[in-house]
Amino acid sequence: MATVSDSKPESAGSAIARLTQIFANAGIDNAPLDARLITAAALGVAPDNLRLHPDAQLDGAALSTLDHMAQQRTTARMPVSRILGRREFWSLDFSLSPATLDPRPDSETLVETALGLLADRDQPWRLLDLGAGTGCLLLALLSELPGATGVGVDIDAGAIETASSNAAALGLQDRSAFRVADWTAGLDGRFDLIVSNPPYIPGAEIDTLAPEVARHDPRGALDGGADGLDAYRAIAPLLAPRLSLNGSAVLEIGAGQAAAVASLMNKADLLVDPPVADLAGRDRCLVCRPG
């Protein structure tokens, strides 16, 4: 990869232009955005500041940092969010770790759908997030539901550590609890809302995904077994016993999985609404209710 560093300071605008070309030559989507985010990080400023101050100068230390991050982006195909160690989701800032999925904007469809099911946002709703990862789903919901409390579970202790840290950083630690568990094992009581973004990629397809996903998201959070449905088979019989009488579960689904997942839920005595599409028009989640 061509280097952008030099013995002389370089302007932010020049660095962005160079990185954009490097990233575009490497076949990276959204090259201008990635270049701006990395340049801003190297300078230690907010990305929007660069629009106002394109002449800001990167000194030798900043250019060295820029080079290192650019190398990670092109050679390792590490997503910018992984390079920076954080991702914005639902306009909130979430730390990432090797144990967590990188939250995608498409998953905000689950949050929007779930909020639409809770007409009175001030009620003391009880929430559960199965496979919490960064905690983004549960914490985004709690940020909109001031009277609610929630529990997030994940089988990976590293993910639970990250989610707990995110809860504290967002000031939501008093209304959330994260614990290591195999789905609902060890949980008591019922919940008004259950959300989950479980593993749903067929195992044989993972290595065909974009390298940003296949190389850097934890395989256990992606691999849904031979047909991508193993997690739904595990979850289906657990939902009704944990849902309140008028409760709902909102589940993220993979492409083309709506009918198969709905069938699994129906067999577990759950009623399933028509799938909810994301902004790209792809079926993104299913709402399930006690039958």
Q: What is the mean pLDDT of residues 36-64?
A: 90
Judgement on whether residues 270 and 172 belong to the same structural domain of the protein: yes
Judgement on whether residues 130 and 215 belong to the same structural domain of the protein: yes
Q: What is the mean pLDDT of residues 2-29?
A: 83
Q: What is the mean pLDDT of the chain?
A: 94
Convert the chain into a string of H (helix), E (strand) and C (coil): CCCCCCCCCEEHHHHHHHHHHHHHHCCCCCHHHHHHHHHHHHHCCCHHHHHHCCCCEECHHHHHHHHHHHHHHHCCCCCHHHHHCEEEECCEEEECCCCCCCCCHHHHHHHHHHHHHCCCCCCCCEEEEECCCCCHHHHHHHHHCCCCEEEEEECCHHHHHHHHHHHHHCCCHHHEEEEECCCCCCCCCCEEEEEECCCCECHHHHHHCCHHHHCCCCHHHCECCCCCCHHHHHHHHHHHHHEEEEEEEEEECCCCCHHHHHHHHHHCCEEECCCEECCCCCEEEEEEEEC
Judgement on whether residues 54 and 132 belong to the same structural domain of the protein: no
Give pLDDT tens digits for 246-256: 999 999 999 99
Q: Of the residues 34, 51, 75, which one is the last residue of a structural domain?
A: 75
- Domain for residue 155, yes or no? yes
pLDDT for residue 5 is more than 50: no
Instruction: Give the pLDDT band of residue 48 (cuts 50, 70, 90).
Output: confident
Q: What is the mean pLDDT of residues 27-31?
A: 92
Judgement on whether residues 35 and 171 belong to the same structural domain of the protein: no
- Domain for residue 117, yes or no? yes
- Domain for residue 197, yes or no? yes
pLDDT value of position 99? 95
Q: What is the mean pLDDT of residues 210-222?
A: 94
In contact, 74 and 1? CB cutoff 8 Å? yes
pLDDT value of position 52? 78
- Domain for residue 85, yes or no? no
- Domain for residue 192, yes or no? yes
pLDDT for residue 233 is more than 50: yes
Judgement on whether residues 65 and 203 belong to the same structural domain of the protein: no
pLDDT for residue 282 is more than 60: yes
Q: Of the residues 75, 99, 120, which one is the last residue of a structural domain?
A: 75
Number of domains in the chain: 2
pLDDT value of position 55? 87
Give pLDDT tens digits for 152-190: 999 999 999 999 999 999 999 999 999 999 999 999 999
Judgement on whether residues 124 and 253 belong to the same structural domain of the protein: yes
pLDDT value of position 50? 85
In contact, 159 and 181? CB cutoff 8 Å? no
- Domain for residue 84, yes or no? no
- Domain for residue 163, yes or no? yes
Judgement on whether residues 123 and 244 belong to the same structural domain of the protein: yes
Judgement on whether residues 275 and 135 belong to the same structural domain of the protein: yes
Judgement on whether residues 39 and 181 belong to the same structural domain of the protein: no
Q: Of the residues 75, 99, 126, which one is the last residue of a structural domain?
A: 75
- Domain for residue 4, yes or no? no
Judgement on whether residues 65 and 170 belong to the same structural domain of the protein: no
Judgement on whether residues 50 and 102 belong to the same structural domain of the protein: no
Q: What percent of the chain has pLDDT over 90?
A: 92
pLDDT for residue 2 is more than 50: no
pLDDT value of position 4? 43
Give pLDDT tens digits for 60-104: 999 999 999 999 999 999 999 999 999 999 999 999 999 999 999
Residue 247 main-chain phi, psi, to 5 deg: -80, 170
Tell me the residue range of the domain where 35 lies: 10-75
Q: What is the CATH number of the domain that holds 233?
A: 3.40.50.150
pLDDT for residue 283 is more than 50: yes
Give pLDDT tens digits for 191-205: 999 999 999 999 999
Burial of 230 (0-12, 13-18, 19+ CB in 10 A): middle
pLDDT value of position 7? 52
Judgement on whether residues 70 and 95 belong to the same structural domain of the protein: no
